[in-house]
Each structure stands twice: as C-alpha cells, then as structure tokens.
Amino acid sequence: MPDIKCNVTECNYNNDVKCNAPMIQVNRNHSSKSATSDETKCETFRPAES
C-alpha cells in the first residue's frame, strides 16, 4: 500500500495526516463519470472514536 496523505484528521484511520487503513475504497461522488477530484470520495472514512 503506498503512503496516502490525508488531511481528514477526524477520520478514525488517520494518523499524523496519513491514512493507516489496510486498504481504502474510493467511489464516485454524485457523478456517473467523475471529471474532478471533487467527484470522488473515500468510502472507508469512519468518524474518529473519542
């Protein structure tokens, strides 16, 4: 798994602005054919346990 930098520090898998999940699932976001990164989303996101 390559290093994934991720600024979503409120995600349970985030550690020091990097993704620690063993794999991630990225899907299209409100689009049938994404044209920009805004039209993708990380499905693996989980809220951090507090």
Note the residues at the interface with ligand SF4 (CB under 6 A).
Answer: 4, 6, 8, 11, 13-14, 19, 21, 24, 42, 44-45
CB 29 within 8 A of CB 41: yes
Min CB(37)–ligand SF4 separation in Å: 13
* 3-class SS of residue 17: coil
Cβ proximity to ligand SF4: between 34 and 42 the closer is 42
Min CB(33)–ligand SF4 separation in Å: 22
Query: What's the CA gap between 7 and 30, in Å, rounded?
Result: 21
